[in-house]
């Protein structure tokens, strides 16, 4: 129909909140181009995105529900044990999308790390910063990348939220020796936040995120360390939709289960230092805000461990492992760390979105 709005489905992976948060600027730009956007999600991902887009049309799509081991030694077995579920979810996504296209008549799909959301009849774009899947074993890394490329190559294009140049954030993860066959477009770091001059209110902002049980384990470690801390701290638990109130802790510690994008943007800028996971979406947010941080990678999550080491080596962020984390020592080391600013273009993604939407007209 002449003049009809382009109908675009956006679907982020449910492994942590980062895949959803980095889709926010893309969704906002789609809205500015007068597209009709649908979001496929469930659980905390859906709650988070509904806070930013209460007027949006949401479709229920089950996630992967990956559960990590409490110990490093059990990590590999835990992932292997869940492979049948992962593959079954990918093929469920395909069946779901086929029915959803028939019902809602989408013109395009943007899938953030959901490999089953591709269809031959419409343009489908895959977003990932992890073209090279890093593991602790060369054989499993090769196999994982081969499987990942198998699914990426079923899409029409792949957007990589990083810089194409040597001045980049994800290092070997986003710049592998061999690229997939589909067109690759580096769209620059994605962040929902805006940099501004904010008066400092907190000595620390602790931002928890990621899959369980490791999110809870780190929260328990941090809360134990903060019991006698005398400076103002904001602890954000990363639990959207959770109504639990924590009392009798430490009067210097302000605790929030979740903050919407505007509130979190303001809170991070109001902190002298941030303690958080080294998830890539969090890294992109911190870079845009030019905020100093201590990164604590999720144990045995090799992607986060690589990012933390790589960014520490580049002197962009300080990092330490969860096993070796000592609160006072980490603060001491961070105080002496150089924290080199990373300058980047945060508008490149708009060109990619513009090109996609124009191709539909």
Residues 179 and 64 grouped into a single domain: yes
Convert the pLDDT of each residue in 27-51 to its tens digit: 999 999 999 999 999 998 998 899 8
Q: For residue 330, tell me if it sits in a domain.
A: yes
Q: Is residue 1 predicted with pLDDT exceeding 50?
A: no
Residues 41 and 140 grouped into a single domain: yes
Q: For residue 178, which of 210, 141, 149, 144 has the smallest C-alpha distance?
A: 149
Residues 260 and 181 grouped into a single domain: no
Q: For residue 195, tell me if it sits in a domain.
A: no
User: Comparing 54-63, 201-210, 246-255, which segment has the lowest mean pLDDT?
Assistant: 246-255
Is this prediction's pTM over 0.85?
yes
Percent of the chain with pLDDT over 90: 71
Convert the pLDDT of each residue in 171-194 to its tens digit: 999 999 999 999 999 999 999 999
Full domain range(s) for residue 35: 7-190+346-360
Residues 218 and 258 grouped into a single domain: yes
Convert the pLDDT of each residue in 315-346 to its tens digit: 999 999 999 999 999 999 999 999 998 887 77
Residues 42 and 101 grouped into a single domain: yes
Give the total number of structural domains in the chain.
2
Convert the pLDDT of each residue in 49-108 to its tens digit: 998 899 999 999 988 776 655 555 545 555 667 678 888 899 999 999 999 999 999 999
Residues 13 and 133 grouped into a single domain: yes
Residues 323 and 350 grouped into a single domain: no
Q: For residue 30, tell me if it sits in a domain.
A: yes
Instruction: Compute the mean pLDDT over every residue in the chain, rounded to the nearest whole number.
Output: 91
Residues 170 and 289 grouped into a single domain: no
Q: Which uninterrupted H or E stretch holds 112?
A: strand 108-112
Residues 207 and 293 grouped into a single domain: yes
- Asked if 21 and 192 touch (Cβ cutoff 8 Å), the reply is yes
Residues 179 and 207 grouped into a single domain: no
Convert the pLDDT of each residue in 273-302 to its tens digit: 999 999 999 999 999 999 999 999 998 888
Q: For residue 216, tell me if it sits in a domain.
A: yes
| CATH number of the domain where residue 123 is located | 3.40.50.2000
- Of residues 136 and 249, more confidence is placed in 249
What are the Cα distances from residue 2, in Å, to 6, 30, 45, 123, 356?
11, 19, 34, 19, 18
């Amino acid at each position: 129909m002449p003049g009809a709005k382009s109908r675009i489905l956006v679907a982020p992976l449910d492994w942590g909140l980062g895949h959803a948060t980095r889709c926010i600027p893309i969704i906002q730009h789609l809205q500015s181009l007068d597209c009709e956007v649908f979001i496929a999600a469930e659980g905390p991902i859906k709650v988070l995105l509904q806070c930013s887009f209460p007027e949006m049309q949401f479709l229920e799509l089950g996630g992967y529900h990956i559960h990590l081991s409490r110990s490093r030694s059990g990590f590999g077995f835990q992932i292997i044990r869940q492979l049948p579920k992962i593959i079954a979810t990918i093929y469920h996504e395909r069946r779901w999308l086929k029915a959803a296209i028939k019902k809602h008549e989408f013109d395009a799909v943007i899938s953030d790390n959901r490999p089953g959301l591709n269809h031959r009849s419409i343009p489908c774009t895959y977003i990932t910063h992890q073209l090279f899947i890093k593991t602790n074993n060369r054989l499993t890394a090769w196999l994982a990348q081969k499987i990942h490329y198998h699914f990426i190559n079923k899409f029409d294009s792949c957007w990589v939220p990083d810089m194409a140049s040597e001045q980049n954030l994800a290092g070997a993860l986003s710049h592998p020796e061999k690229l997939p066959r589909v067109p690759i477009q580096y769209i620059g770091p994605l962040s929902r936040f805006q940099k501004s001059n904010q008066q400092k209110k907190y000595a620390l902002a602790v931002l928890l995120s990621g899959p369980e049980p490791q999110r809870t384990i780190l929260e328990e470690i941090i809360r134990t360390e903060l019991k006698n801390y005398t400076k103002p701290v904001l602890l954000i638990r990363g639990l959207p939709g959770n109504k639990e109130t924590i009392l009798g802790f430490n009067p210097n510690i302000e605790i929030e289960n979740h903050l919407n994008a505007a509130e979190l943007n303001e809170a991070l800028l109001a902190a002298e230092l941030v303690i958080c996971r080294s998830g890539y979406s969090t890294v992109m947010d911190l870079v845009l805000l030019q905020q100093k941080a201590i990164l604590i990678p999720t144990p045995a999550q090799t992607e986060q461990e690589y990012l933390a080491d790589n960014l520490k080596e580049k002197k962009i962020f300080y990092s330490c492992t969860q096993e070796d984390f000592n609160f006072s020592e980490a603060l001491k080391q961070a105080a002496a760390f150089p924290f080199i600013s990373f300058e980047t273009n945060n508008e490149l993604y708009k060109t990619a979105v513009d090109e996609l939407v124009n191709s539909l007209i």
